[in-house]
Chains A and B, each alone.
Chain A
Amino acid sequence: MRVILPVDEEKDVICATFGRAPYFAVYDTETRTMELKENPASQVQGGAGLKAAQFVLDCQADALITPRCGMNSAEVLQAAEIKIYKSEGMGVNQNIEAFEDGKLSVLTHFHGGYQGIR
């Protein structure tokens, strides 16, 4: 199973936003390996949430762990049957551990976006 998390410039810390995160960490629960990838949506003018969600799909992730997530992104992820969990605390490793122990809750609130769509 592949789990993906938005990551800040300090690469062991979870980013506060999903679409504009500078990096994504992709963790494979079988091989217990982590890969860091640049988020292609972090600097785009508009539609960052959609592009970032597309990236999550293209990484063939099964689950996303994030502090928050917009409605457009959530619609894409849900259509692709990717589970969205709410992160707890800031640490990437700490959240992967919590996820593997089944301690993270499912994210149910999705915000309407932080700036005008266009």
Chain B
Amino acid sequence: MKIAVLSGKGGAGKTLTAVNLAAAAGQAVYIDCDVEEPNGRLFFKPQNIKTADVTTALPEFDPDKCTGCRTCVDFCRFHALVYIKNRPKVFSEVCHSCGGCALVCPGQAVTEKEKIIGKVEIGFHGETQIVTGILNLGEASGVPVIHKALEEGIQQDDPVLIDCPPGSACPVVESISEADFCILVAEPTAFGFHNFCMVHELAELLGKPCGVVINKWEGVYEPLEEYCKEKKLPVLLRIPYEERIAEIVSSGKILVEEYPEYRKKFQELLKKTGGGQA
């Protein structure tokens, strides 16, 4: 069972929810796909870390074999290749490493060179396996790192908790691609609600069953509750805007390990998603 946790807006409580679900499950895998800012490790403090590099391929053009026919430049749908002075030139940040230029080149002048863009760290917090995707500073796309983190982390049995990046663009699409269920974490504010609708639309488009966790709950926020009712989205948990919770989280501790009532609540949440036996 693979459960993705997403929210659209940053700071809504994705990491809070995903970390505590994994910790409450015990034997589980937590995958941090927020590769530009992976924060789950601040809570788990994983031990016995093993590291694997993540690379992408960039085309190189053999000047002796390239005839300047321009086939590769015209083929590239990302417009990552330009044709200057009868030779192709690649813009690495625009290149999606699809390998198309090498395939279409009639002169076999294109070879692909591996480039390191980040890494995946795998460690343990008790029985919980912690997989962290880390994108190198200055790199344009985290998608290959997310792909590798998912590949490393997804196993057959354990519930897998996927902590998604904010937003609703390519990195989120990649993060939820393998998920059986999406938990949408909602912040009951106008901004939070707006982005919540965007991720819900995305998850629906990809045919993912969804449930809602409302974080920083301070009573009914009408637009959100109405939307959930209208779309038949079950509200699985409400986490109140409470000082004790804020204190535990801001000191880098795990809620279910400090606040026994919440161990039960997160175990119940996991059960509602179909991801464990509470």
Contacts and interface: CB of A to CB of B under 8 A. Distances in A.
B75 interface: no
Interface in B57-109: 73, 78-80, 82-85, 89, 91, 93-94, 96
B170 interface: yes
Interface in A102-118: 116-118
Contact of A54 (B73, B141, B169): B73
A41 B96 CA distance: 18
Nearest to B143: A118
Interface string A15-33: 0000000000000000000
Contacts of B78: 46-47, 118
Interface in A60-118: 72, 75-76, 79-80, 116-118
B94 A46 contact: yes
Nearest to B74: A54
Contacts, number: 50
Given A54-B73, A117-B93, A76 B79 contact: no
A48 interface: yes
A13 interface: no
- Looking at chain A's contact residues, the main secondary structure is helix
Interface residues of A, number: 19
Given A72-B94, A117-B93, A50 B82 contact: yes
Contacts of B141: 117-118
Contact of B140 (A41, A48, A75, A117): A117
Interface of B: 73, 78-80, 82-85, 89, 91, 93-94, 96, 140-141, 169-170
20 contacts: A41-B79, A44-B79, A46-B78, A46-B79, A47-B78, A47-B79, A47-B80, A50-B79, A50-B91, A53-B82, A54-B73, A54-B79, A54-B83, A57-B82, A57-B84, A72-B91, A75-B91, A76-B84, A117-B93, A118-B140
